[in-house]
Amino acid sequence: MKTLFIGGTWDDNGGKPSKIVQAMSTVLLVGKNTTFMNGGCFSVLEKLLENVEEFEEYGLIIWFADVPNDKQKIIRQIKAIHPKCLLVTSKRNLDNQYPLQELIARALQVKSNLFVEITKNGERYKGKVFDPLGNLWGESEDFVQIAEILKGRLEQLKVFTRVGSEQMEDIVPIPDEQEFFDYAKKVADIFHSLIHGANPSRFLGNLSFRCERGFPSFRTRDVIYVSQRDIDKRFIDKEGFVAVDPILDNVVNYYGDKKPSVDAPIQVRLYSYYRRLRWGMHSHVYIKNAPMTSIAIPCGVVEEFDEILKLFPKSDVENVVVNLRGHGSLAMCSYLGYMKNLQYYARPIPEPQSLE
């Protein structure tokens, strides 16, 4: 994987290198397919993004550039230009003026896969490695060690699988599942009070339901309905859902002009395997007394299905209720009344995780 590592100060006066970045580069820059720039003129950074084809060759982009506030924040453009790259960012928080919630919000805005918080105690700097879900992967005053932590988690992220989506030409109507919609609005307020991270105005996660031939509400075809991407579930109704095909063949086929949730590939696999399930709710809080998956997996990664399968191997179960380590929870039920009796609690933020 080709790597781009940008650090140090970048301004109109030639900038300045960073000792922290230099130390980290000894671990993170291995092999010939690496580009490393530690401080320089801001105009050089601007030119980096002009050649889109060359920029898209970098599978890993580590962006620790310290840029004056009056300059354009190039970091916000990286994932817009190259959405498939792994992005690592940093934030200097020397006086602890930024709460962790604000750092997470920033990471979500720029779509970082990992970020490093840099603090200072007296003359000693300290780094902490987080992901946008508020998981803490390690901390140290030795930034070579911080680089090792980053490298370890990046190696894990590289092997995870994501599935894209493709719009279909057909129009598929959304059935009215009003009882489910009303329940979703109710629990959205509960999640609002529990989530400590970013975007508290809506719960992070998604909703889904399945209608098949023979269901009273919809008799035309087998379809799964998943909530739209980034929709506020407090006000959700049938217009907030997207129809998707129940078969996942390296892509999620969806109908209409709105994309389904990034977790749609996992939900499709789950509905395909557990044929009795009708309703699903994924949120970024935990469920009391639910079993926990063994490893932390980011949003939208299909290996999450395999982790759930380990806990619920039988395909004929009527309910699948599970806590997703470092992520949240998933409740999929054949009887809506069962889902209504679940109790939720907040994930700890930060939530320490292990690379082992």
pLDDT at 352: 97
Which residue type occupies 195? Answer: I
How confident is the model at residue 212, as a pLDDT? 54
pLDDT, one tens digit per residue, over 227-264 is 998 776 666 788 889 999 988 888 999 999 999 999 99
Q: Is the pLDDT of residue 217 over 50?
A: no
CB 241 within 8 A of CB 174: yes
Tell me what percent of the residues of the chain surpass a pLDDT of 70: 93
Do 2-159 and 164-352 have matching folds?
Answer: no
> What is the three-class DSSP state of 244?
strand
pLDDT score for 235:
64
Between 220 and 284, the higher pLDDT residue: 284
Give 316's contacts (C-beta < 8 A, 6+ positions apart).
Answer: 274, 275, 276
Q: Which of 204, 214, 203, 233 minimizes the C-alpha distance to 175?
A: 214
> In this predicted structure, what is the pLDDT of residue 194?
74
Using one digit for the tens of pLDDT, what is the confidence trace for 78-123? 999 999 999 999 999 998 999 998 999 899 999 999 999 999 988 8
Residue-wise DSSP of 165-206? EEEESS--PPP--HHHHHHHHHHHHHHHHH--SS-TTS-SEE
State residue 248's pLDDT score.
83
DSSP state letter for 154: H
Per-residue pLDDT of 27-60, as tens digits, reads 998 777 899 999 999 999 989 888 899 999 999 9
As separate numbers, helices (DSSP H) first and strands (DSSP E) second, the chain gives 10, 18
Task: Give the pLDDT of residue 140.
Answer: 97
Residue 202 pLDDT greater than 70, yes or no? no
pLDDT tens-digit profile of 284-296? 999 999 999 999 9
Asked if the model's pLDDT at residue 201 lies above 60, the reply is: no
- Average pLDDT over all residues of the chain: 90
Task: State residue 195's pLDDT score.
Answer: 67
C-beta of residue 356 within 8 angstroms of C-beta of residue 295:
no
Classify 307 as helix, strand or coil: helix
DSSP 25-81: HHHH--SSSEEEEEEEEHHHHHHHTT-HHHHTTEEEEEEEEE--TTS--GGGGHHHH
Cα first-last separation, the chain: 23
**pLDDT number for residue 184:** 86
Q: Are 323 and 292 in contact (CB under 8 A)?
A: yes
Shortest CA distance to 98 belongs to which of 198, 191, 203? 198
CA distance readout (Å), 121 to 93, 148, 170? 11, 22, 60
**Per-residue pLDDT at 199:** 46
pLDDT for 118 equals 97
- Cα gap 163→262, rounded to integer Å: 9
The CATH label, of 3.40.50.150, 3.40.50.1820, 3.90.1720.10, 3.40.225.10, for the domain at 164-352 is 3.40.225.10
What is the reported pLDDT for 143?
Answer: 98
CATH class as words, domain 2-159: alpha beta
pLDDT at 20 exceeding the cut of 90: yes
Distance CA 51, CA 273 (A): 44
Enclosing H/E stretch for 264: helix 264-273
Domain ranges of the chain: 2-159, 164-352
CA atoms within 13 A on the CB side of 276: 11
Strand partners, 3: 34, 60
Please name every residue paired with 314 in a beta bridge, in sequence order, or none if there are none. Answer: none
The answer to whether 207 and 226 have CB atoms below 8 angstroms apart is yes
Please give the radius of gyration of the chain, using alpha carbons only, rounded to the nearest integer. Answer: 22
pLDDT, tens digit, 9 for 90 and up, residues 147-186 = 999 999 999 999 999 999 999 988 888 888 899 988 988 8
